[in-house]
Amino acid sequence: MMFGAAAAAVLVTMSLAMVRAIKGPTVYDRIVAASNFGTLTVVLIAVYGFLSGRPEFLDIALVYALINFIGAIAVSKFVQFGGVQRPLGEDDPGDI
Amino acid sequence: MENVLDIISWGLMICGGAFSIIGGIGMIRLPDVFSRMHAASVTETMGATTIFIGLMVQAGWTLTTVKLLLMLIFMMFTNPTATHAIARAALGEGLVPLSDGDEEDLSDYVLADTEMMAPEPDDKEPEPSKT
């Protein structure tokens, strides 16, 4: 019951984040919405593990959290620099 | 004792769901990229943290709690870092936060930063890799 309520709340929030990711005017809106969607996916996997009585799902959630972080950093760097390499031409190695 | 723990867990997870939905509504309704990031942070830290603490109370002293604590610490470190990186990329692009008049002068910082960070113009050949 309580896990179902938490999972329903997370699903509602995921749908709201998906609306923002579809209609966001700038690309940063979409990145923020996608990152938020990934975080909510982690929470949803964890809650679903408890809901179905199999807490082993937490390992999957942990790996998904790692991938989500790397993805958000990589996409923001890609949008800013047009690539994931260091900035060309200067000695400045970039900030991220 | 079981009932007390169940009630605590139930309250924490309801609070977490409420925080998540509030953050989602804010992400729909707020006017600006940076304010939407602020709303998303409510979901990512407060909502997820509260739901995880509720799950920890439910799990008791087991390995599951350790895994949940690990995920919690990891998310508390990485979500603000990712949001900071996205906000910095947006500032470097030239997006300026909305304000009601008495804004700080961000343009110097943004322009200097953009010039420093910008890749070479398109007509130049990129340097070959140094390796």
pLDDT of residue A90: 59
B20 vs A10, A80, A94: nearest CB: A10
**Phi, psi (deg, nearest 5) at residue B32:** -150, 155
User: pLDDT value at position A19?
Assistant: 92
Q: Indicate the residue of B27, B70, B79 with minimum beta-carbon distance to A16.
A: B27
Which tokens hold the place of A59? 């390992």
Cβ of A22 under 8 Å from any chain B Cβ? Answer: no
Specify the pLDDT at position B117. 41
Show residues of chain A in contact with B96, CB under 8 Å. none
Size of interface A-B (CB pairs under 8 A): 172
Condensed to tens digits (0 to 9), the pLDDT of residues B17-73 reads 999 999 999 999 988 888 999 999 999 889 999 999 999 998 888 898 999 999 999
Query: Closest-CA residue in chain A for B75?
Result: A65
Tell me the pLDDT tens digit for each residue of A10-51: 999 999 999 999 987 888 899 999 999 999 999 999 999 998
DSSP run (H or E) holding B5: helix B2-29
B15-43: burial string, b at 16+ Cβ within 10 Å, e else: bbbebbbbbbebbeebeebbebbbbbbbb
The verdict on ipTM greater than 0.85 is no
Chain A touched by B57 (CB under 8 Å): no
Residues 75-104 of B with CB under 8 A from A: 75, 78-79, 81-83, 85-86, 88-90, 92-93, 95
Alpha-carbon torsion (B74, B80, B83, B84), positive or negative:
negative
Give the residue on B whose Cα is nearest the Cα of A64: B71
C-alpha B10/C-alpha B53 separation (Å) is: 11
A26 with B33: Cβ contact below 8 A? yes
In whole numbers, what is the pLDDT of chain B averaged over residues? 79
